[in-house]
Amino acid sequence: MFIIDTNGDLVGYSVWEPDLLYAPLVGCYSDGRLVAVTASNLPPEDVQLAGPKRRCWFRLPVTEQVRDRLLDGDPAVKVLRTEDAAPIDMAHGRTPRPLRRVEDFVTSASRRANDLTGFAAFLGAPFAHQLDILFLDFLGRLPDPGARQHYMSQIKGGMSPLTLRNELLASLEFHNRQLTVSDRVGSLVTSPIWWQLAEAEPLDELRAQIPQLSIAELDGLSDRDFASRLLAACSRDEASDGELDEFEALCREQGRNAAAADLVRHAAGDGIFVSLVA
């Protein structure tokens, strides 16, 4: 769901259900072409739109012409999640006029066939594979030698795959690709094939180790100690007393499982990935 705010930007949210770690992309398509894209990884916006109180919001600037066509209910202008073409509707907008074009049938059919549950496994793939797939997914090519050397050093130094994704999205090369509504931008890094490849990956390849956090193993802790353990796992810095107080209260208000899930989602936006297990 999104609105058009006073600045003319599209502001809304998109919740990624397959896992807690991936921040999906939201794209605006005009006449079948991708004209603007951004990640849903912002904290909740203070706008006239009720939505999740978690880090799954986006702010997407568009041109005045695209904005006017959206307000007019033009069916040739769409806001979709790029990985699976899931529609993101405008709150209080006009109902689009009926439209039957080939791209609409293709989009609808391909969306039903998608299974994009592989990002958590992708995070454990060798760094070299991550780099190649990110370039293929967002630029449609493998990295050249200079880019490979530069980005491999960045990844080995702790750069999040989502940070690299955002750099590629901001590049002129990406904006010149002329992507269409049938392209599935982000579907390679979220493909379930990464679960199948996990056991077949070559040994001794440099890769990240994603820590696991078991909620069941923390059952016997007090709310304060539970909050402390969660914050320590999901932060690079020691939690302040105020942060502990806030998260402890959140655990009591929402329940530990829901509070832990929100914290893991928020940490992933900062490039800290923790696998939450029951």
| pLDDT-based confidence at residue 200 (cuts at 50, 70, 90) | low
Q: What pLDDT shows up at residue 215?
A: 87
User: What's the mean pLDDT when you consider all of the chain?
Assistant: 89
Same domain, 255 and 230: yes
Query: Based on the domain organization, do 169 and 143 belong to the same domain?
Result: yes
More confident residue, 110 or 29: 29
The larger pLDDT score, comparing residue 124 to residue 107, is at: 124
Specify the pLDDT at position 226: 92
Confidence (pLDDT) at 208: 72
167, 200, 233 - which closes a domain: 200
Q: Is residue 130 domain-shared with residue 195, that is, in the same domain?
A: yes
Classify residue 11 by its DSSP letter.
Answer: E
Which of 31-35, 92-96, 107-111, 185-189 shows the lowest mean pLDDT across its residues? 107-111
Predicted confidence band of residue 153 (pLDDT cuts 50, 70, 90): very high
CA–CA distance from 174 to each of 3, 43, 165 (Å)?
26, 26, 11
For residue range 1-17, list pLDDT tens digits in order.
Answer: 999 999 999 999 999 99
* pLDDT on residue 196: 86
Does one domain contain both 6 and 108? yes
The verdict on 8 and 101 lying in the same domain is: yes
Residues 108 and 127 in one domain: no
Region 74-88 average pLDDT? 96
Among 112, 139, 173, the domain boundary falls at 112
Task: Based on the fold, state whether residues 191 and 217 are members of the same structural domain.
Answer: no
- With 0.75 as the threshold, say if the pTM is over it: yes
User: Does residue 156 sit within a domain?
Assistant: yes
Number of domains in the chain: 3
Question: Does residue 134 have a pLDDT over 60?
Answer: yes
The domain containing residue 160 runs over which residues?
119-200
Instruction: Tell whether 133 is covered by a domain.
Output: yes
249 belongs to a structural domain: yes
Strand partners, 29: 34, 78
Q: Are residues 135 and 78 in the same domain?
A: no
Query: pLDDT tens-digit profile of 202-255?
Result: 555 667 778 888 988 888 899 899 999 999 999 888 889 999 999 999 999 989
Name, in order, each residue with C-beta under 8 angstroms of 107's C-beta and a sequence gap of 6 or more: 80, 85, 181, 182
| 58-76 pLDDT per residue, tens | 999 999 999 999 999 999 9
Residue at which a domain ends, from 72, 95, 112: 112
> Does residue 207 sit within a domain?
no
In sequence order, what are the residues at sequence separation of 6 or more whose Cβ sits closer than 8 angstroms to the Cβ of residue 230?
213, 218, 247, 259, 260, 263
- Is pLDDT at 197 greater than 60 in this prediction? yes
Instruction: Give me the numbers of helices (H) and strands (E) for the chain, helices first please.
Output: 11, 8
- Report pLDDT for 237: 86
Contact 81, 7 (CB under 8 A): no
**For position 104, what pLDDT does the model report?**
58
Q: What is the pLDDT of residue 185?
A: 97
pLDDT of 105 above 60: no
Q: Are 165 and 138 in contact (CB under 8 A)?
A: yes
Q: Domain check: are 222 and 124 in the same one? A: no
Q: Are residues 266 and 228 in the same domain?
A: yes
Inside any domain, residue 205: no
Same domain, 17 and 75: yes
Question: In whole angstroms, how far apart are CA 259 and each of 7, 47, 101, 233, 256?
Answer: 32, 23, 43, 14, 5
Contact (CB, 8 A) for 62 and 27: no
Q: Are 52 and 258 in contact (CB under 8 A)?
A: no
Q: Which residue intervals of 16-101 are DSSP H helices?
A: 64-71
229-189-180 Cα angle (round to 5): 135
Structure confidence at residue 75 (pLDDT): 93
Q: Are residues 195 and 238 in the same domain?
A: no
- Spell out the residues 6+ positions from residue 74 whose beta carbon is closer than 8 angstroms to its own: 96, 97
Q: What pLDDT was estimated at residue 32?
A: 93
Check if the beta carbon of residue 40 is closer than 8 Å to that of residue 13.
Answer: yes
